[in-house]
Structure 1
Amino acid sequence: MLSVEQMNEIKELQASCEDDGGFELKLNWDMLATRKEGTKDDFFHYENGQLVGFLGIYGFGTKVELCGMVHPNWRRKGIFTGLLKEAIKEAQNRGTRQILLNAPAGSESAKGFLETVPNRYFVTEYQMKWDGTAPPSSEGVILRHSTERDNPLEIRLEVECFGFLEQEAATYHQELKESSSENFYIVEAYGEPVGKMRVDHPNGEAWIYGFAILPEYQGKGIGRKALSCIIAEEDKAGRPLFLEVEAKNAHALRLYESCGFKSYHAQDYYEYLL
């Protein structure tokens, strides 16, 4: 578990890096705030008592994402290389089957570093914000809060829509529900549970995660209606609404755009080659 002091140090370092580079880092603050005691997920480098390097492991089953940074005044000194070696070793000790390196699409320093380590481009993820466009009708679709009886469906959706193995999906789902303060929703279409989404509310905003509809129900307008439900709810509460989508999922990208979501930032992911 990270201390308040550590969290503040990470925020200060993030601000210095973003101000210098003109990009946004994806440090998954919801996950940083709920680190488990005794788990080595975060790696720090200090110089003269100042945090100048940080790297975090973010686990999703047996896949992990790594995101970190080094203060502009302390780059090209091998600091990030050292942090990455520690994190890779820790991930391998856990039996990780895939390691993804997360880099802001506009970061020249990240691109330069990636040229020094074995990797291949994997995917680009876009952050999108709802622009206030009136949502389409949600008739026939409702969102309700998830209950324990929905666990099999939620696990199935992780497997069929996000590529998890069944056991890792079950473990990830259980850990998420135990540690997260997010709202877990089930999408029902005409009385049948067919999908899910999670909604978090950091800093007065609303963020949609893990949105999925069973493959056999896709292409029927259910996803659009489910988005309409959550847009109406969050708009009524006065919260700006955001989500993330992978660029390779062209259907999802078009779906979000049709509901008034516009891309404003991108993160590139590279698979580390072991």
Structure 2
Amino acid sequence: MLTIEQLEEIKALQQVVERYDSIELKLNWDMLENRSEEEQTDFLTYDSGQLVGFLGLYSFGSKIEVCGMVHPDYRRKGIFSNLFQNSHFALEKARHILLNVPANSKLGKQWLDSITCIYEESEYMMKWEGKVLPDQDESISLRPSRKEDIDMKMKLDIVCFDFKAEEAKMYNDRLEKEGLQKEFFMIEAEDKIVGKIRIHRDKERSEIYGFAVLPDFQGKGYGRKALQKAVRMEAQQGQSVYLDVQTENEKALSLYTAIGFIKESQQDYYLYSI
């Protein structure tokens, strides 16, 4: 588990790196701030008391995403390679290891050339630009999730995100341990639960994750209405709203664009095998 001081150091380093390289790193702050004491998922390098390198592992079932950074004044000294090598013991049980690098990170891409990996996918980070949304539609509702919703959440992970049953359980158990299940809302329509959506609030920024609608209820406009309702709920509280979408997911990309989201940056993912 990271201390408050370490979290502040990571945030400060992120700001330095992003400003210097003109990139946007995906450090999954919702997970960083709620780490379990049972696993080592974060690796840090200091010089004279200053944090100069960081690498974080982010688990989604048996898939692990890897992202990190090194202070501009400490590059080409093997710091990131050492951090990555030190993390291998924690990666061994992963079925799928994805290295996350901002699409416009020249140094990140150069490092990838030094190891064996293959390109897998990309995603856009999108921000709602503030378009006027339609009036409230009462045919769907969002309600905070409850403990008894856990089976439905796992079902949605399986049918919508291709999780295996054991991965869905592992993922939801971790969210419960880290106190993140409270961020979910269940989407209800036709007197049934038809989907879920997670909203993580970090100061004035709200990020939408895990947005899914059961296949039997797709194509009826419920997803669009639920997303519009979620965006309206956050915008009315003065929040900026963000979400991620895979670049090849044309259906979702079209929906998000129509609602008023615009592309801010792109993250690329590379498959790595130990």
Deviates more, 1:31-40 or 1:255-264: 31-40
Query: 1:124 aligns to what SS in structure 2?
Result: strand
Correspondence for 1:110: 108
Equivalent pairs, count: 272
CA-to-aligned-CA distance 1:160-193 (integer Å, 9 cap, x gap): 1112111120121122133235521111122121
Q: Does 1:157 align with 2:156?
A: yes
- Mapped contact 2:36–2:177 kept (Cα < 8 A): no
Q: Does 1:145 align with 2:144?
A: yes
Correspondence for 1:2: 2
Query: 2:100 aligns to what SS in structure 1?
Result: strand
Deviation at 1:203, TM superposition (A): 1.3
Structure 1: gaps (5+ residues): none
Query: 1:201 aligns to what SS in structure 2?
Result: strand
Correspondence for 1:91: 91
Give 1:165-184 correspondences, 5 Å limit. Answer: 165-181=164-180, 182-184=182-184
Instruction: With the length of structure 1 as denominator, give the TM-score of the two structures.
Output: 0.94
Q: Distance in 2 between matches of 1:225 and 1:204?
A: 23
Amino acid aligned to 2:94:
T
Q: State the superposition RMSD in angstroms.
A: 1.5
- Mapped contact 2:234–2:241 kept (Cα < 8 A): yes
Instruction: With the length of structure 2 as denominator, give the TM-score of the two structures.
Output: 0.94
Give 1:15-54 correspondences, 5 Å limit. Answer: 15-54=15-54
- Mapped contact 1:208–1:243 kept (Cα < 8 A): yes
Deviation at 1:239, TM superposition (A): 1.5
Q: Does 1:210 align with 2:241?
A: no
- Mapped contact 2:43–2:83 kept (Cα < 8 A): yes
Query: 2:203 aligns to what SS in structure 1?
Result: helix
Q: Does 1:261 align with 2:261?
A: yes
- Mapped contact 1:105–1:268 kept (Cα < 8 A): yes
Amino acid aligned to 2:231:
I
Deviation at 1:273, TM superposition (A): 2.8
Q: Does 1:100 align with 2:82?
A: no
Q: Distance in 2 between matches of 1:124 and 1:195?
A: 25
Query: 2:226 aligns to what SS in structure 1?
Result: helix
- Mapped contact 1:198–1:210 kept (Cα < 8 A): yes
Deviates more, 1:158-167 or 1:2-11: 2-11
Q: Identity, % of aligned pairs?
A: 44
Q: Distance in 2 between matches of 1:62 and 1:41?
A: 14
Deviation at 1:155, TM superposition (A): 0.3
Q: Distance in 1 between matches of 2:81 and 2:70?
A: 10
- Mapped contact 1:103–1:267 kept (Cα < 8 A): yes
Deviation at 1:50, TM superposition (A): 2.0
Query: 2:87 aligns to what SS in structure 1?
Result: helix
Q: Distance in 2 between matches of 1:205 and 1:74?
A: 31
